[in-house]
Amino acid sequence: MESANSTASTPETAATSNFIRTIVEEDLKNGKHKTVVTRFPPEPNGYLHIGHAKSICLNFGLARDFGGRCHLRFDDTNPAKEEVEYAEAIKDNVRWLGFDWGEHLHYASDYFEQLYQWAEQLIRQGDAYVEDLSAEEIRAYRGTLTEPGKESPCRSRTSEDNLALFRRMRAGEFADGAKVLRAKIDMASPNLNLRDPVMYRILHAPHPHAGDKWCIYPMYDFAHGQSDSIEGITHSICTLEFADHRPLYKWFLERLGIYQPHQYEFARLNLTYTVMSKRKLLQLVQDGDVSGWDDPRMPTLSGLRKRGYTPESVRNFCEQIGVGKSDSWIDMSILEEAVRNDLNVRAPRAMAVLRPLKVVIDNYPEGLTEEFEAANHPNDPAMGTRKVPFAREVYIERDDFLEEPPKGFFRLSPGREVRLRYAYIVKCESVVKDAAGNIVEVRCSYDPASRGGSAPDGRKIKGTIHWVSARHAVKAEVRLYDRLFTVPNPDKGGQDFKAFINQDSLRIVEDACLEPALAKAASGSSYQFERQGYFHVGSTSADGTPVFNRTATLRDSWGSGGKKE
């Protein structure tokens, strides 16, 4: 069987309009900008998740659609939390998603010297001062949401003194936390971000990218806007919680007299049945609730990838959910639907029995093996066919047999007929049970005239079920993944989100029975196990058999419309 994912794919969802796209269009049309330059600015302090994908698709998508460019810039201003491993994983994820930053891989830390010079400029202009107050004192002086803050005694220092002190900060003469550099703006501003925000703090720590050159590091607010300015960003796009920072973003650029990009904010993605904050994801990793940042249950790009999500499906998802400013909760089912849509057209079909129940066909010749031709994709003949061996004993799914079927059940049950896909129509003649009354085997007869599964006399066979020849079955491990949390919003109500972890989010089936063609499944490819779902081939286990990770179930309108196995 050919390895999957080489042929057709779903068409890319056309970019729908959104307010940012509209702004870019207008800026280009009226000549405000000649080209569009955006950037995706992650902090390398964790893995990227599906929420970041929304931002990546927005920023890189804009650049792609309007013939501009998008930079990948690490916002690495806090060495205490950042690691090279994260930066590498981020680059890998962005590439996997299908985007290319070309020559434009940047680091805020590469601008540290320039930033430092700009800080000195602000000090000379009387726009910044060195603060001696402790962190606690600064907080106390800041005031509250409804009361103005108090000015620090250090606020009146001369430029000369400030400059000397700041240089001594850089020279490493002070301990961590002993001093900070602050912007001199307005301690009574209703916007707390303007109450003399901290620009630099002392941190005697090596930096993952800049090495040990620095012991003072700029804050986000003093680095981000200037980085945008240096890179000639035209549209600086960030999430809503930074809207309050926009006046500060502008203030620094104005005082510095440098090119001023404009900042636009959009609503971050919230997805049901998962958590999206890096802090919480890190906690799951550290507490061992998942196997790592790339656990297939994680909403991280690495996790989704391991789960079997395709870049196309993630991009389509991001396009579908749109970009707005209202707090939105996207249902997990929309993400799941996005992979199904993509995998439906590209994944070859195969048969696999997860919970085997033996069926013996009494009137079928004992030693005989027949081979049936099965389509690799029922709607795409170009994907070819494969041979599936059939013999007297086959396994079917336990769920496909019910001794006392409810109304509307049209699989196998005593006295009833069902079609074994591509093989024969069989009829259940009897049931064999063990001493405890458990069904251990089903006895059937087959209709030799139904070779291939057709009903020559035109009789209607409602049910068609999948099967695997017992003698030819290949054993494999199958991992059934489900949602990580049991409630739509694990963060709600201030309770510990971990109380809502789904204890059943991973079930490992050790002895699934696969049709023989699956033994050669290539790692990284995806298949649809007919009637069950999409499965992604993970790393091969020690004994050479593949491990299959369930990406998503198939939709199932039988029963409560819920999920099956």
- Subset of residues 201 to 220 that bind RNA, contact rule: CB under 7 A: 201-202, 217, 219-220
- By CB under 7 A, residue 327 contacts RNA: yes
In the complex, minimum distance from the CB of residue 59 to RNA, in angstroms, rounded to a whole number:
15
Residue 400 beta carbon to RNA: minimum distance, rounded to whole angstroms: 8
373-381 contacts, C-beta under 8 A, 24 or more apart: 373/422, 374/349, 374/421, 374/422, 375/349, 376/1, 376/2, 376/348, 376/349, 377/348, 377/349, 378/349, 380/7, 380/8, 380/345
Helix (H, G, I), strand (E, B) or coil at 47: coil
- Restricting to residues 328-347, which ones interact with RNA according to CB under 7 A? 328-331, 333-334, 337, 340-341, 344
Give long-range contacts, CB 8 A cutoff, 24+ apart: 429-435: 429/362, 431/403
Shorter beta-carbon distance to RNA: residue 161 or 337: 337
Closer CB to RNA, 438 or 557, in the complex: 557
Total residues contacting RNA (rule CB under 7 A)? 90
Can residue 180 be called a binding residue for RNA (CB under 7 A)? Answer: yes
- Whichever of 60 and 467 has its CB closer to RNA, that residue is 467
Contact between 427 and RNA per CB under 7 A: no
Q: Write the burial class of residue 228 (CB in 10 Å: 0-12 exposed, 13-18 middle, 19+ buried).
A: buried
Minimal distance, residue 154 CB to RNA, in Å: 11
Place of tokens 């549209």: 235
CB neighbours of residue 24 within 10 Å: 24
Nearest to RNA of 3, 239 (CB atom): 239
422 touching RNA, by CB under 7 A: yes
Sign of the Cα torsion 419, 424, 430, 435 reads negative
Which residue, 31 or 561, is less far from RNA as judged by CB?
Answer: 561
Q: Which two tokens stand for residue 332?
A: 């997990």
Q: Kindly list the distances between the CA atom of residue 222 and the CA atoms of 39, 47, 242, 476, 516, in Å, as whole numbers in the listed order.
A: 17, 24, 14, 55, 61
How far CA 29 is from CA of 22, 24, 237, 261, 327, in Å, comes to 10, 8, 19, 17, 30
CA distance 260 to 250: 7
Among positions 326, 366, 543, 544, the unique one binding RNA when judged by CB under 7 A: 326
Asked if residues 128 and 122 have their Cβ atoms less than 8 Å apart, the reply is yes
**Contact map string, positions 487 to 526, toward RNA, x by CB under 7 A:** ----------------------------------------
For RNA, the binding residues in 381-420 under the rule CB under 7 A are 408-411, 419
35 binding RNA? (CB under 7 A): no
65, 244, 362, 504: residue in contact with RNA (rule CB under 7 A): 244
Question: Does residue 142 interact with RNA by CB under 7 A?
Answer: yes
| Member of 306, 377, 386, 479 binding RNA (CB under 7 A) | 377
Mask of contacts with RNA, 101-140, x by CB under 7 A? ------------------------------x-xxx--xx-
Minimum gap (Å) between residue 9 Cβ and RNA? 13
Token output for 77: 């201003």
Task: Give the residue numbers annotated as catalytic, written as ranges.
Answer: 43, 268, 278
Residue 349 touching RNA (CB under 7 A): yes
Residue 106: CB partners within 8 Å, gap ≥ 6? Answer: 39, 71, 72, 73, 74, 227, 231
C-alpha distances in Å from residue 409, one per residue of 418, 429, 463:
11, 18, 9
Between residues 71 and 506, which has the closer beta carbon with respect to RNA? 71
Burial class (CB in 10 A: 0-12, 13-18, 19+), 468: buried
Q: Determine the 3-state secondary structure of 397 from DSSP.
A: strand
Taking the complex as a whole, the smallest distance from the CB of residue 2 to RNA amounts, in Å, to 16
Of the two residues 237 and 465, which places its CB atom closer to RNA in the complex?
Answer: 465
Residue from 102, 177, 206, 456 touching RNA (CB under 7 A): that is: 177
Q: Is 8 in the site for RNA (CB under 7 A)?
A: no
Nearer to RNA by Cβ, of 101 and 424: the residue is 424
Instruction: Give the one residue of 126, 153, 365, 378 binding RNA; rule: CB under 7 A.
Output: 378
Report the residue number, 419 or 506, with the smaller CB distance to RNA.
419
CB 435 to RNA: min, Å:
29
CA distances from 272 to 269, 499, 564 (A): 10, 16, 20
Among 8, 84, 171, 240, binds RNA (CB under 7 A): 240
DSSP string, 548-565: EEEEEEPP--SSSS----
Out of 232, 292, 414, 463, the only residue in the binding site for RNA (CB under 7 A) is: 463
Asked whether 401 and 442 are in contact (CB, 8 A), the reply is yes
Contacts of 52 (CB under 8 A, 6+ apart): 40, 42, 93, 301
Residue 421 interacting with RNA (CB under 7 A): yes
Identify which range of 88-96, 156-164, 197-205, 426-434 contacts RNA by CB under 7 A. Answer: 197-205
Interacting residue with RNA among 37, 169, 323, 476 (CB under 7 A): 323
Q: What is d(CA 290, CA 275) in angstroms, rounded to the nearest whole number?
A: 13
- The CA distance from 249 to 255, in Å, is 10
CA 527 – CA 426 distance, rounded (Å): 27
Minimum Å gap between C-beta 228 and RNA is 12
- Residue list 252-291, contact with RNA (CB under 7 A): 267
The 55-84 site mask, x for binding RNA (CB under 7 A), equals --------------------x-xx-xx---
CB of 544 to RNA, least distance (A): 27
* 8 A C-beta contact, residue 107 and residue 115: no
